[in-house]
Amino acid sequence: MEQFIQEFSQKAISLLCNLPKVEIAKAMNILQAAFERDGRIYVIGNGGSLALATHWVSDFNKTVFSHNLEEHQRRFQAIRLPTTEEELTAWANDVGYEMVFAGPLRNYIQDSDVLIAISSSGNSENIVRAVELARANKVPVIGISGFDGGRLNALSDAKIMIPSNRGEYELVEGIHAIVLHIFTKYFKEYFDHVLLLRKDREELHTATV
Amino acid sequence: MIISSAPMRISFAGGGTDLPDFYTRYPGRVISTAIDKFIFIAINHAPYTNHVAARYSLSEEVSHPSELKNTRIREALLDLGIEKNIEIGSFAPIPARTGLGSSSSFSVALLKGLYAYIGKKLDKREIAEAACRLEIDLVKEPIGKQDQYAAAFGGFNMLQFNPDGTVDVEPVLLDYKKRMALESHLILFFLGTTRDASSVLAEQKANTQKNFETLKRMSDSVPVLKEALLHADFKSAGEMLLEGWTMKKQLASAISNPGIDRLYEIALDCGAWGGKVLGAGGAGCLMMLAPLERRAAVVETLTAGAKAEGFEAACEIPVGFVQTGAEIVVNSYGR
């Protein structure tokens, strides 16, 4: 049993040591730009990836600012799509499962926005449809994929691919959670730093006056 | 109404290597960042008027775009086949011709807005290329390509101008700590005078052959400067700016003048590491890097020095770096 655990963690460590750092950095610049222009960030995924998306939305909208919630007039607007199970099942039942993300995304999407698509295979048809819609609207796409990246990786502006054997969902989803937490941690520290500098400046100002 | 925007930029090194006379023979390189000063363009559909209106520092109302004095708006409208029922206004926080690349930001925002007006969405690269075509091919400005790319892409980038005419955009991935530290070390000092970039650039263009070796050194210095910035080694970066400025002054006679040279000297004497005049040169903004503990003193010295040189309106412009590029801010005609 211990050997099983050891083998799994060794694989995870090796993937973590080789994170696509440049692509993760590019993704954080895309998020920074969305914040500057007050754009919205849509997050989509199937199954476990949808759970990651939902978890991240909560972190990004609230936890990122939680040290000083009231001080930050502008906050992120991250939205998991579809926003309700009713909408999800309506699109799936009435139109087709391939439209559960692209359908709702079409209602929301504006030029200032960003799409984060999470898919281990990178080939889920409903994910690819939404990514194609974003691309047609020239909205930047952060693709978080596994295995060989699939079509999602090819279509993304920030290509965060966790290379792995087909079917290794547990590893890929675990690393995806860490990547999403890197986004959260980075911006949390960034906004703390912004406030710190602002306070320093105010103190300096008071001192000179 | 459509409102579009594009940021201005600060260029650290490599200016002049984005001219075709150079980059067709050797890859040109520039390192620059978009800043939190934006040109806004408002485009209004006016179906019950037959005119074309352009409102910027002048206010023009004409019956056909070909009669417009504003060369960029004129050529853009003619190129897109928009002949009437349109009003275009531009807004900016800083006067034109200050070396912050504002005329290309204007073109980028204008095209982003006009394409949205005719129902087309262009990505960053398409907008940058459209703005290069407008300014270089249609308006026939003797300018390079760096500002259009800086305004369209936003962010902190190293641009490479390849001999085949393509442009590589490589982001300089500074984390927030380094980015904000660089902002604190940087002084953007507005000299209060403006100049027409074209006359300086025309001379520079004519001298490209003579200056080839200097331009080559300037292009090669860009990746070195990029590394210094990535390591938050702002002292080395400042010293490289000093070296770059010394090289740049050799390119054309109007890039500097005795007044600017004296201001640069007193900033160095006061403890600044180095800097440059932004843009094509001659006037505009002086950008310096200085140690934090000398920053306030350098600003004070420059302000007093500028007054003594007759730059009455000179002042520091607080500046931050942005990731934002060309954007549609409002589109009331639908998405």
A21: nearest CA partner in chain B: B173
pLDDT at A81: 97
Contacts of A36 in chain B (CB under 8 A): 322-324
Contacts of A193 in chain B (CB under 8 A): 176-177, 180
- Report which secondary-structure segment, H or E, holds B179: helix B176-185
Q: Cβ of A37 and B329 within 8 Å?
A: yes
Q: What digits encode the pLDDT tens for the residues A153-208? A: 999 999 999 999 999 999 999 999 999 999 999 999 999 999 988 888 888 777 76
Q: Do B308 and B269 reside in the same domain of the chain?
A: yes
- Report which secondary-structure segment, H or E, holds B182: helix B176-185
Q: What digits encode the pLDDT tens for the residues B164-211? A: 999 999 999 999 999 999 999 999 999 876 656 666 667 777 777 778
Of the candidates B98, B165, B97, which has an alpha carbon nearest to the alpha carbon of residue B129? Answer: B165
Q: What does the alpha-carbon distance between residue B185 and residue B268 come to, in Å, rounded to a whole number?
A: 14
Determine, yes or no, domain membership for A14.
Answer: no
B180: nearest CA partner in chain A: A194
User: What type of residue is B90?
Assistant: S
Q: Cβ of A193 and B122 within 8 Å?
A: no
- Confidence band of B2 (pLDDT split at 50, 70, 90): very high
Q: Do B85 and B216 reside in the same domain of the chain?
A: no
Determine, yes or no, domain membership for A27.
Answer: yes
Q: Do B221 and B156 reside in the same domain of the chain?
A: no
Q: Do B15 and B149 reside in the same domain of the chain?
A: yes
Give how far Cα A28 sits from Cα of A76, B234, B263, B315, B321, Å: 13, 23, 39, 34, 15
Q: Do B25 and B63 reside in the same domain of the chain?
A: yes
Interface test with B, best of A23, A32, A188 (most B CBs within 10 A): A32
Supply the angle between the helices B176-185 and B212-230 in degrees, to the nearest 10.
Answer: 120
Of the candidates B112, B124, B117, B143, which has an alpha carbon nearest to the alpha carbon of residue B40? Answer: B112
Structural domain boundaries enclosing B197: 176-316
Q: Do B142 and B220 reside in the same domain of the chain?
A: no
Alpha helix segments (H runs only) across A166-209: 169-208
Rounded (10°) CA dihedral A139, A145, A151, A156: 30
Contacts of B330 in chain A (CB under 8 A): none
pLDDT at A202: 82
Lowest mean pLDDT among A63-77, A108-122, A151-165, B58-72: A63-77
Q: Do B167 and B189 reside in the same domain of the chain?
A: no
pTM: 0.93
To the nearest whole number, what is the mean pLDDT of chain B?
Answer: 92
Determine, yes or no, domain membership for A3.
Answer: no
Q: What does the alpha-carbon distance between residue B58 and residue B39 come to, in Å, rounded to a whole number?
A: 16
Determine, yes or no, domain membership for B69.
Answer: yes
Closest CB to B121: pick one of A29, A112, A138: A138
Tell me, what CATH number does B204's domain have?
3.30.70.890
Number of domains in chain A: 1
Determine, yes or no, domain membership for A6.
Answer: no
Q: Cβ of A186 and B329 within 8 Å?
A: no
Q: Cβ of B121 and A189 within 8 Å?
A: no
ipTM of the complex: 0.91
How far is the alpha carbon of A25 from chain B, nearest alpha carbon, in Å? 7
Measured between CB atoms, does A136 come within 8 Å of chain B? yes
Structural domain boundaries enclosing A62: 20-208
With a CB cutoff of 8 Å and minimum separation 6, the contacts of A158 are: A23, A24, A26, A27, A30, A140, A141, A142, A143
Q: Do B166 and B44 reside in the same domain of the chain?
A: yes
- Alpha-carbon Rg for chain B in angstroms: 20
Q: What does the alpha-carbon distance between residue B60 and residue B114 come to, in Å, rounded to a whole number?
A: 18
DSSP E strand boundaries for A25-113: 41-45, 78-80
User: What type of residue is B129?
Assistant: E
Contacts of A33 in chain B (CB under 8 A): 154-155, 322-325
Count contacts between A and B (CB, < 8 Å): 51
Interface test with A, best of B327, B331, B333 (most A CBs within 10 A): B327
Q: What digits encode the pLDDT tens for the residues B247-287? A: 888 777 777 788 888 999 999 999 999 999 886 555 689 99
Determine, yes or no, domain membership for B185.
Answer: yes
Number of domains in chain B: 2
Q: What does the alpha-carbon distance between residue A127 and residue B167 come to, in Å, rounded to a whole number?
A: 31
Contacts of B122 in chain A (CB under 8 A): 138
Residue B286: which region, alpha, beta or left (left: phi > 0; alpha: psi -120 to 50)?
A: beta
Determine, yes or no, domain membership for B115.
Answer: yes
Q: Cβ of B173 and A25 within 8 Å?
A: yes
Determine, yes or no, domain membership for A122.
Answer: yes
Tell me the torsion sign for CA atoms A123, A127, A131, A136. Answer: positive
Determine, yes or no, domain membership for A5.
Answer: no
Q: Do B166 and B181 reside in the same domain of the chain?
A: no
**Which residue, of B154, B173, B192, is where some domain finishes?**
B173
Measured between CB atoms, does A86 come within 8 Å of chain B? no
Q: Do B255 and B145 reside in the same domain of the chain?
A: no
- Confidence band of B123 (pLDDT split at 50, 70, 90): very high
Of the candidates B212, B276, B224, B222, which has an alpha carbon nearest to the alpha carbon of residue B249? Answer: B276
Q: Do B110 and B127 reside in the same domain of the chain?
A: yes
B119: nearest CA partner in chain A: A137
Tell me, what CATH number does B58's domain have?
3.30.230.10
| Beta carbons of B124 and A140 less than 8 angstroms apart | no
Q: Do B160 and B263 reside in the same domain of the chain?
A: no
Q: How many CB atoms lie within 10 A of CB A47?
A: 12
With a CB cutoff of 8 Å and minimum separation 6, the contacts of A154 are: none
Tell me, what CATH number does A79's domain have?
3.40.50.10490
